[in-house]
Structure 1
Amino acid sequence: MKNIKEEFYKTLLNREDFYMKQYYSNYHKEDVYIAIKELREGIYCVLITDEANENIDSLEAFEYIKTLDKPFSLNVMILSSKGYIYTEHVHPINKLIINKDRGNVIACDESCFPLKQIFEKLLEGQLEGGFSKEKFLKYKIITFCIIAINIVMFIVIKTVIHYKTNIEVNNLINAANASSIKVSQNMIDNLINGINNSVLVNFGAKDNILINQGQIWRLFTCAFLHSGFIHIACNMYSLYIIGPQIEQIYGARKYLIIYTVSCITASLLSYFMNPDSISVGASGGIFGLMGALLSFAVIERNKIRKKYISSLMQIIVINLFIGLSISNIDNFAHIGGLVGGALTGYISYKIFNNNMGKL
């Protein structure tokens, strides 16, 4: 098994709710990292080192963790390539000893038993290789369901538009021939645009006139409709990238709540600020997911790299700028979704977050 240290830290971060802390090592003359998980009784710390540096690395980690001023347990994964000689440390640590060549567990203290289970699962995944259905679908079920609904609606709408367009264009050409009128491309384009808008409205697009008549549901259904292939392709790709992150951080139920609220707040701001537009698209909900990510990053700013927050802010600003630079983009919907997602994400994570269970 290659890159045990990198793969194990990555597993703790992505699947076990750990975060990374870095501190300067006077021995190695560089920053080193330790994985930490918050528990009710304190913090569970994981250091990965090798047999040669076990003592100095454990001592430096122990001294650093004391500065965090929290009850803690230090659990050290020691990578050994030969027969390991078990020695006691002057400071209390728990050991998980791994043969890095064979990838098997040599010894394990009781406190490290959860790490041993995680390592064995990781090792099984490495040995199995190839495509893993469980791994592929992890944190993606909700996202795939939303994408599927959007794609089905897109296919249905395009089928209806194609059918109606053929009929109406033929009727236009026949009427023009009967009246000896030349049919211009502009006339055909206007007819097609009218058909597109009509079909989208029939399927639930945001239309202020109909909403004022009591069709409030359009504030939500419009988020599952798209006007063109590029429109849906860009939105679904963005959803595929962002959605699993939201599910991993917030959980499936909160993901659905954040997305639903974001879609509605996007439509509401568009309703008040862009009343003449017929709006469709999932971009408001997607901006809401970005807002929820931003809320998470701000709340956990002491546990994640500042570069993550900076990069996320850049992505949001760039997407808003693109929206402002292209015509026929409902930027008020983007802003409404962003604000709705940020607020819902903040409330659901800060107030209702119960991820402080045991490892």
Structure 2
Amino acid sequence: MGKSSPSDIESRTDNARAPQSFYPPMSKPWFPWLMPTFVIVNVAAFVYTMYINNCPATTGRHRCVFPSLGRFSFQPLSQNPLFGPSTKTLELMGGLEWILVVKEGEGWRLISCIWLHAGVIHLLTNMISLLFIGIRLEQEFGFLKVGLVYVISGFGGSLLSSLTLRSSISVGASGALFGMLGAMLSELITNWTIYANKVIGEGMRRRILFW
């Protein structure tokens, strides 16, 4: 038998040390643009709502919160503790109110209320959550699927609100966010083996490299 050359020995050694793949190759992530666009739309809708609200003209400048903001100043905290517009303005802008949907046939409010927020605190909480959850999902599944989940979940949340909150106005993207959170948890549970094997494979790769 002939002797193996040093290059053959080195090649076999490298092959022996190569980590075994425990999970299928990940597809190239989508570029997330829809979720940031939704954030911009929500922020723009809130700014326009505050412009329409015009607290100094409707409530009195001395009663508004941060009156230096002019017509963008907030309603008194006794009326809206979330630093936002009045209930009347939210209704005017398309807030969800059960009697208007059922009695007046204004079904469009089931969608329009998703893009409105009761105040700055409400807006910031939802938008941070949307970026944290939505961008991850959009990178994985693309804008079309995630956009459908957002709108359908928001619509479902509006239906639920109209059945349970009949004496108040409902606004916000909480229903859409809960739907996306459910989608994220479902994806995690479904692909748990892949993620677990990925962690194991990465650990073995590091052990082999330092062997």
Fold agreement, TM-score > 0.5: yes
1:1-359 map, 5 Å: 54-58=14-18, 61=20, 139-161=31-53, 163=54, 165-170=55-60, 189-190=78-79, 196-212=86-102, 213-305=104-196
Structure 2: how far apart are the matches of 1:273 and 1:169?
30
Question: Contact conserved, 2:157 with 2:175, CA < 8 A, in 1?
Answer: yes
Distance (Å, rounded) in 1 between the aligned partners of 2:80 and 2:158: 27
- 1:218 is displaced (CA, Å) by 0.9
Counterpart residue number, 1:99: none
Kept in 2, the 8 Å contact 1:220–1:263? The answer is yes
Structure 2 unaligned spans of 5+: 1-9, 64-75, 200-211
Query: What secondary structure does 2:192 align onto?
Result: coil
Compute the displacement of 1:302 (Å). Answer: 2.0
User: Can you list the C-alpha shifts for 1:219-246, whole angstroms capped at 9, x where unaligned?
Assistant: 1111111111111111111111111111
Equivalent residue of 1:61, what SS?
A: coil
Change (3 A) 1:236 1:56: same
Query: Does the C-alpha gap of structure 1 residues 289 and 160 become closer, same or farther in structure 2, counting only changes over 3 Å?
Result: same
After TM superposition, give the deviation of residue 140 of structure 1 in Å.
2.4
Distance 2:120 2:77 in 1: 20
| Aligned equivalents of 1:251, 1:276: Cα separation in 2 | 38
Unpaired runs of 5+ residues, structure 1, are 1-49, 73-117, 119-134, 174-186, 309-359
Offset of residue 272 of structure 1: 1.4
Query: Corresponding residue for 2:206?
Result: none
The CA deviation at 1:257 is 0.5
With over 3 angstroms needed to count, the CA separation of the structure-2 counterparts of 1:51 and 1:209, relative to structure 1, is: farther
* Structure 1 residue 160, shift from structure 2 partner: 1.8
Write the letter of the residue equivalent to 1:226.
H
2:41 maps to a residue whose letter is I
TM superposition score normalised by structure 1: 0.42
Residue deviations 1:183-225, cap 9 Å, x none? xxxx9945999x7101001111110011112111111111111
Query: Structure 1 residues 206 and 51 mapped into 2: Cα distance closer, same or farther (>3 Å)?
Result: farther
Q: Deviations over 1:15-51 (max 9, x none)?
A: xxxxxxxxxxxxxxxxxxxxxxxxxxxxxxxxxxx97
Aligned counterparts of 1:240 and 1:301: Cα–Cα separation in 2:
23
The CA distance in 2 between the partners of 1:51 and 1:166, in whole Å, is 78
Structure 1 position 280, deviation (Å): 0.8
- Pairwise CA distance, 1:169: 3.0
Contact 1:169–1:188 (CA<8 Å) still a contact in 2?
no
Q: 1: CA distance between counterparts of 2:77 and 2:59?
A: 7
| Structure 2 counterpart of 1:295, one-letter code | S
Alignment partner, residue 204 of structure 2: none
Q: Give the 3-state SS of the residue equivalent to 1:238 in structure 2.
A: helix
What code does the residue aligned with 2:130 have?
L
Letter in 2 for 1:291: G
The structure with higher relative contact order (CA 8 Å, sep 6+) is 2
Larger radius of gyration: 1
8 Å Cα contact 1:139-1:245 kept in structure 2:
no
Amino acid of the structure 2 residue aligned with 1:146: F
The SS at the match of 1:292 is helix
Specify which structure has the higher proportion of helix: 2
Per the alignment, do residues 51 and 223 of structure 1 end up closer, same or farther by CA in structure 2, a change over 3 Å counting? farther
